Amino acid sequence: MPPRHTSVWALALAALASCAPPDAGRPDPLATAYLRLIDAEDARPGPDDPRLQLLLRGAEVELPLLRRTAIRGLGRLERRELVDVIARHLDDPDPGVRGQAADAVAQAVHRSDGTPALPHLLARVTVETDPGVLGVLASSLARLRLEDDHRARVLQVLLDLSRRGEADAPPSQMSGVVLGLERLARDGVPFGPRARARLDRLTRYDLLQGRAGAQGGRIRALAMEALAHLGALRVEHVEPGLRDPSQTVRITAARHLDVVRLEARSELIRRALREPVVGARIAALRHVIAGPPDDLTCVRLFAAATRDAARGVRIVAIDALDRPCPGADPDEQRRILLGAASALGPETRDDWQVSAHALVALARFDPPLARELLPTYLAHENPFVRAWAARAADALGDTATVRALAGDPHPNVRTAALELMAARGPVPSELLVTQLADDDPQLLLTTARLLRGSPLGLAAASACLNAFERISVYRWETLRDPRRELLARVAELGNRSFAPRLEPYLEDYDARVAGDVARILRSWTGAPYTPSPQPLPRLALPTGEELKVLERSTVTLHMRRGGEIVIRPLADLALTNAYRFWRMARDGALDGRTFHRWVPNFVIQGGSPGANEYAGQPRFTRDEVGLLPHWRGTVGLSTRGRDTGDGQIFINLADNVRLNHEYTVLGIVVDGIEVVDEVVEGDVIERAEVRVHE
């Protein structure tokens, strides 16, 4: 390797010479150098950008922290030509740097052919001794896109790495190995008898030694998932899994009860339905719903719908009661649905979710009863409730009510109504054009899509262009999706008479939009238009003092229905996104926000000012993918494509490792995971509090 600079000052001075420092006070040269590296990574520098040289030089300085930061930044650029440069750091004397280099080598070829990275990682495996680094090497090898013969070789390497001598590899190594094995199994790589036998043993990892740590539980759960991908999971894995000390393993076992023969499955479902962890009960209930009906099916559904303490479990059960339950008393089923749907009143502010789902189920099971209750929902002040009223009206075939809700004061209700109308047939273009007067991004995106092929032609194109021009004034990066969809309708339905209005947007702040405009103008006129985007300044990084505070902070989400979710922002892994989350909490930007999305045993998502998928903070943040997997309780950054973080977060309800290296992990729940498990769609963050710890 080239000689390292003898002092961090060399990097700090290089940073100061390149451009204005992010920390104007510069009380700490290390903080200044560190923040400059983060700034260089965040800029996504091209080959001729001096900030790329800054990252390359940062990878050579004497402090491991700065080397790790620079190497991680180089990997996040996802540029194949940097593989050999990054790989030189696989022999760094610091194991943390070597592990980061292994991950960065794989990230450099993310979404492309992984062959250039393969020899570097394989060579390092033969000489590496640190268990943690070996784990990173294993998981990095498995995520490379390779030909089948190379993937088969990687599988054999991982099997070898799963042992240290005659014993199992230690947890820090085995975690990476089993992440890799699960990835290979998910990708369809053939596993022979040796590999399957190894996974079978890993479902008992640590338990034979009497250990019950979190890391061991994740290893066991991933081994079960890998066997499930292979079609090799058996009752001898699932039954002990339901008794495992790890919540994650118990949830995983409950998700795979379908591998148990029918005559034995009922007893395991009974046990899982009594599991304290909400996710396991929901998983078991799904097997009740999906399985062949028997005498216990309706008993279990009725019990879950009326007696379970968790709203999520009750909702899943009630959703399944929208059709007659075989062998059950229909009057009892009717009483359950009617009782739940009738529990909603005008004063019900927060606890509406079970009732709303019950109304939709009742609309399918007993339409006359649902019609009697519908007016209460239509008049409710909560827009989430009115959106569910639209779904109930649709289930009733009440198209007039659904159309009336397309004029609701809240854009989320109008969006729901339009989507329901579109599922039944074309939505009148005149109705759609009226929606273009609103600035809500989700409503505009939906409307523009539904206007595809509109018979209004130029009139619809003009309305779309008006909306595009109006929201473009805000100069919000996160309006990209509706702006591009509006432009698509302008291109489809308009003509060159609109060209003078589009020409200024060749210099739009969004390069994607400027490129769209150039293509539209070329198609209309045949002239050689060239985009010249003028990007906005990137979001500011923390100062050195803010960085010190951030590193000692937690963010507590005080939920309106009760309970606290305590999140530690991971500034060391995802500084720009952790900083924005921390700053939003500090400044009150999360107060009153909702978790608008709930997918059982997957994620909850929230923080949107519009309580929907497309309303976010004005500016994008960049992806900061890294070594920490999307374990249960980690907090991720919601995006709609590369480098499109809009301030919304999601919390993983289970180990969602398929999200690894695709979505940023910016925090982790350190207290209140049981509160997270209770959150459903529409739950409100009363306030967010930043606590600084000594």
Q: ∠ at Cα 15 (13, 19), nearest 5°?
A: 120
Per-residue tokens: 168: 């199992």
632 in a domain, yes or no? Answer: yes
36 in a domain, yes or no? Answer: yes
Q: What's the rounded mean pLDDT across residues 21-41?
A: 79
Reduced 3-state DSSP string for 99-126: HHHHHHHHHHCCCCECHHHHHHHHHHHC
Confidence bin at 223 (pLDDT 50/70/90): very high
> 407-419 as b/e, with b when 16 or more CB fall inside 10 Å?
ebebbbbbbbbbb
458: enclosing H helix or E strand: helix 458-472
Asked if 614 and 648 count as a contact pair (C-beta separation under 8 A), the reply is no
Question: What's the pLDDT score for residue 28?
Answer: 81
Question: What's the pLDDT score for residue 27?
Answer: 58
11 or 405, which is more confident: 405
189 in a domain, yes or no? Answer: yes
Q: What percent of the chain has pLDDT over 70?
A: 96
* Domain match, 151 and 45 both: no
* Domain match, 553 and 637 both: yes
Compute the half-sphere exposure of residue 507: CA atoms within 13 Å on the CB side of its CA. Answer: 1
**In angstroms, rounded to a whole number, what is the distance separating the alpha carbons of residues 662 and 37?**
22
* Domain match, 2 and 52 both: yes
Looking at 209, 233, 257, the residue that finishes a domain is: 233
Asked if 646 and 617 count as a contact pair (C-beta separation under 8 A), the reply is yes
Answer whether residue 16 shows pLDDT above 80.
Answer: no
Question: What's the pLDDT score for residue 349?
Answer: 87
Mean pLDDT of the chain: 95
DSSP secondary structure letters along 635-676: EEE--SSTT-B-S-EEEESS--GGGTTTS-EEEEEEE-HHHH
**In whole angstroms, how large is the CA radius of gyration of the chain?**
27
Which amino acid is located at 382 in the chain?
N
* Domain match, 105 and 209 both: yes
Q: What's the rounded mean pLDDT across residues 127-145?
A: 98
* Domain match, 84 and 229 both: yes
Looking at beta carbons, which pairs linking 656-662 to residues 24 or more positions away fall under 8 Å?
656/602, 656/603, 656/630, 657/179, 657/182, 657/183, 657/222, 657/629, 657/630, 658/186, 659/630, 660/143, 660/179, 660/625, 660/629, 660/630, 661/106, 661/107, 661/110, 661/143, 661/625, 662/625
Tell which residue, 16, 20, 104, has the closest CA to residue 538. Answer: 20
The 10 Å Cβ neighbour count of residue 9 is 14
Residues in the chain: 694
* Domain match, 85 and 17 both: no
Question: Range of 30's domain?
Answer: 1-62
511 in a domain, yes or no? Answer: no
pLDDT in tens, 379-415: 999 999 999 999 999 999 999 999 999 999 999 999 9
* Domain match, 199 and 105 both: yes
304 in a domain, yes or no? Answer: no
pLDDT in tens, 589-640: 999 999 999 999 999 999 999 999 999 999 999 999 999 999 999 999 999 9
Q: Residue 153: give its domain's CATH number.
A: 1.25.10.10
Helix (H/G/I), strand (E/B), else coil: 692: strand
* Domain match, 606 and 658 both: yes
DSSP secondary structure letters along 519-587: HHHHHHH---------PPPPPPPPPHHHHHHHHTEEEEEEETTS-EEEEEE-TTT-HHHHHHHHHHHHT
Answer whether residue 3 shows pLDDT above 50.
Answer: no
Residue 31 DSSP label: H
* Domain match, 47 and 97 both: no
Q: What's the rounded mean pLDDT across residues 445-472?
A: 98
* Domain match, 182 and 56 both: no
476 in a domain, yes or no? Answer: no
16 in a domain, yes or no? Answer: yes
β partners of residue 164: 167
* Domain match, 211 and 120 both: yes
587 in a domain, yes or no? Answer: yes
**In angstroms, rounded to a whole number, what is the distance separating the alpha carbons of residues 341 and 333?**
12
Q: What's the rounded mean pLDDT across residues 485-492?
A: 98
Number of domains in the chain: 3
Looking at 233, 261, 289, the residue that finishes a domain is: 233
Question: What's the pLDDT score for residue 18?
Answer: 46
Residue 417 DSSP label: H
Question: What's the pLDDT score for residue 20?
Answer: 44
Looking at 186, 206, 233, the residue that finishes a domain is: 233
Asked if 194 and 222 count as a contact pair (C-beta separation under 8 A), the reply is no
Helix 193-202 to helix 148-161 angle (10° resolution) is 40
* Domain match, 583 and 658 both: yes
